[in-house]
Amino acid sequence: MTVNDSAATATADREIVVTRLLNAPRELVFKAWTDREQIGLWWGPRGFTTTTHEMDVRIGGSWRFTMHHAERGNFENLITYTEIVPPQRLVYDHGGDDGKVEFQSIVTFEARGDRTQLTMRGIFPTVEARDHAVREYGAVEGGKQTIARLAELVEGQAGKVLEITRIFDAPRELVFAAWTERDRFVQWAGPNGSTTPFCEIDARPGGLMRFCMRSPDGQEIWCGGQFLEIVPPERISCTDYFTDRDGKIMAPTSYGTSPGWPEEAFVTVTFEDVDGKTKLTLRHFAGAAAQEDIDGADQGWNQSFDKLVAYLAAR
């Protein structure tokens, strides 16, 4: 079967195979599959978020994580790596929290010029086990959606990434709280002269945030996002998008950005302790955005960070 250039077929009796041609170099795709900071941004079917508890990408190492769904609950997973050939091939055993291996995955990354032919093969111990996964867990559709989310991330990364690093003279627990607590966030979010008259933050994997930035002349820009990974006080990963007043996602062009700005961008923020101060690194994946929009986002973030410096100094 073929859906949007993605094919998922059950072959060789015990296998499920998902393939897709990604518009990104294989080094970038391989990194997205093996980098703790990135994998939570895309892993799992739509509607799922992922919390990583441990990730040690080496032969014999493990990736232990929990997948969250608002209606279906939480699912504990354990992956053990058995073969790693960067940036060509990954082989790992996939099981649940009981340590029992449910299937083996073989993922290959084939260079096609500046694109990547990705193939993910799940090999089950029996035909019945494969059929059960397809019937009860929607493994075929889940595989397609997971790789579609990966494509959205890496194809955006293959465009432009805004990266900002700042040192804040405050402990990282306080800097982290300034990002995740509503009453702190409203004190600094937004460029110079703006205020934040509305803000909701549900700081947990799968939780949403929504806020309004109001400029001195009264113009309002509504923004939102979903938390994908939160590791206090070390890391935040989330989506980022524009909304209307009711929270409905809007096209970025509605707020004057170029057509290349992604409707749903990705943001990662890391907090590193440096002798009692906090080194913050923000990465904003901006896809094919025009340089003027990248420059505008850079200015907006840095002005917000200047306000954060002032807020922290007053604590």
> Domain map of the chain by residue range?
2-157, 160-313
For 279-294, the pLDDT digits (tens) are 999 988 787 788 899 9
Give me the pLDDT at residue 11, please.
52
For 93-122, the pLDDT digits (tens) are 999 777 788 999 999 999 887 789 999 999
Helix (H, G, I), strand (E, B) or coil at 103: strand
Evaluate if residue 5 carries a pLDDT over 70: no
User: Domain spanning 160-313 has what CATH number?
Assistant: 3.30.530.20
Same fold, 2-157 and 160-313: yes
Higher pLDDT, 284 or 79: 79
User: CA dihedral in degrees (209, 198, 184, 221; nearest 10)?
Assistant: 70
Gap between the Cα atoms of 2 and 40, Å rounded? 26
Helices 139-157, 127-137: inter-axial angle, 10-degree rounding: 70
Fold of 2-157: Alpha-D-Glucose-1,6-Bisphosphate; Chain A, domain 4 (3.30.530)
- DSSP letters for 104-138: EEEEEEEEETTEEEEEEEEE-SSHHHHHHHHHHH-
The two three-digit tokens of residue 220, written as one number: 């309002």
